[in-house]
Amino acid sequence: MIEIEEARRVLRIEAQSVLDVAERLDHKFKAAVDTILSCKGKLIVTGVGKSGLVGRKIASTFSSTGTPALFLHPVESSHGDLGVISSTDLVLAISNSGETEELIPILNFVVRRNIPLLVMTSKPDSTLGRAGIFLDISVREEACSLGLAPTSSSTTTLALGDALAMSVLKMRGFGRDDFAEFHPAGSLGRRLVLRVKDLMHSGGSLPLVEKKDDMVKVIALMTSAEVRGVAGVVDEKGHLCGCVTDGDIRRRLEKNKNPLSETAVDIMSKNPKTIDANEMAEKALFIMEQFQIQNLFVVDKQSKETSKPVGLIHLQDLIKAKLR
């Protein structure tokens, strides 16, 4: 099991490296967070090689959590892309050695223009380390058995970038709804954005009958409606007082051989589960799964008549929206 032991060795070294970084955090980290928060423009992240790859991920994390950010390749910056950096921006430069030659043009540019600079490096006395707010990414050892491939150092850099982004996120008060604005696609975005009112059947598609209606009319509606197999029952004032489902009819058949002679109020289940139109669609799914039901009548709790149904949402609506 040499492979497993080697994997454990690597993971332990990298985990310890991240813990070491956590213990070293000081006022400079706070200064870096404050600088990002006060930035009126973009966060420009730059680096070469493994540092560049990690930098791309850090920039992406910031962009998705409320801080406009982009990655600038140092080589491309020397061929015109320096123009992307404006006077209101902030630069985060990453270099383990602090002496990466390709970063020098960017360093000179930001110094000349008095643009704030954050640096991630393991060498505080390096050219880069002395140029801006220093964030220490040094490690005791690389997890590579040869001590050559960036492993622990790239892991700690990525973790420190996440720590910066999450600290900024918390200080901004960036919440779930804000996150959803930046992630409209995918299941995560759908869960955070979709509300019951976005998926419910309403208006002429809402299957409603009155208490006095006979079962012939009820069944006809349940068969022809957009959402089949269910009908809401309302009283004289239009308030929801029950619902009839296929299951209610089958259960009634066991007691009465001629349920068609009865009315909706005789067969309905009282006090059906409801949900507010403004609730997240994900909550509707939770309720359906919890009570093992397939329909929820929708009410509007912001209106004066909160017991009047305004819609109906079916489990299939949630499945089609890819919430399940």
- 256 shares its domain with 152: no
User: Residue 188 pLDDT more than 60?
Assistant: no
Nearest C-alpha neighbor of 261 from the set 270, 252, 269:
252
Please check whether residue 27 lies inside any domain of the structure.
yes
In this prediction, residue 235 has a pLDDT band, given cuts at 50, 70 and 90, of very high
**Owner of token pair 């949900």:** 275
Which pLDDT does position 177 carry in this prediction? 62
The string of pLDDT tens digits covering residues 75-104 is: 887 666 788 899 999 999 999 999 999 998
By the 8 A CB rule, do 90 and 115 touch? Answer: yes
74-78, 196-200, 284-288: least confident range: 74-78
- 208 shares its domain with 158: no
Distances (CA, A) of 287 to 190, 206, 271, 278, 294: 18, 20, 15, 15, 10
Nearest C-alpha neighbor of 65 from the set 219, 168, 207:
168
Which pLDDT does position 21 carry in this prediction? 95
Q: Specify the 3-state DSSP secondary structure of 200.
A: coil
- 113 shares its domain with 51: yes
20 against 64, higher pLDDT: 20
The string of pLDDT tens digits covering residues 133-182 is: 999 999 999 998 787 788 999 999 999 999 999 999 888 887 666 665 55
Please check whether residue 114 lies inside any domain of the structure.
yes
- 66 shares its domain with 148: yes
**Do the bridges between strand 230-234 and strand 208-210 make them parallel or antiparallel, or are there none, so unpaired?**
parallel
In residues, how long is the chain?
Answer: 324
- Residue 5 neighbours by CB distance under 10 Å: 9
pTM: 0.62
> Going by C-beta distance under 8 Å and a sequence separation of 6 or more, which residues neighbour residue 118?
32, 35, 36, 90, 91, 92, 93, 132, 133, 135
- 214 shares its domain with 73: no
H helical segments located in the chain = 2-24, 27-38, 50-64, 74-77, 104-112, 152-172, 176-182, 186-193, 196-199, 215-224, 246-253, 264-267, 281-291, 315-320
Largest CA distance in the chain: 92
In this prediction, residue 2 has a pLDDT band, given cuts at 50, 70 and 90, of confident
- 119 shares its domain with 221: no
Report the domain count for the chain: 2
Q: At what angle do helices 215-224 and 246-253 cross, to 10 degrees?
A: 140
User: Residue 185 pLDDT more than 80?
Assistant: no
> Going by C-beta distance under 8 Å and a sequence separation of 6 or more, which residues neighbour residue 244?
209, 218, 222, 230, 231, 233, 264, 267, 268, 269
- 117 shares its domain with 237: no
Q: Rounded to an integer, what distance in angstroms lies between the CA atom of residue 114 and that of residue 110?
A: 6
Please check whether residue 216 lies inside any domain of the structure.
yes
Domain that holds residue 258: 196-320
Beta bridge mates, 158: none
Q: Specify the 3-state DSSP secondary structure of 4.
A: helix
User: Residue 232 pLDDT more than 70?
Assistant: yes
SS3 content of the chain, % helix, strand, coil (to 5): 50, 20, 35
What CATH code is carried by the domain that includes residue 10?
3.40.50.10490
**Do the bridges between strand 90-94 and strand 117-121 make them parallel or antiparallel, or are there none, so unpaired?**
parallel
User: Residue 252 pLDDT more than 90?
Assistant: no
| Percent above pLDDT 70 for the chain | 92
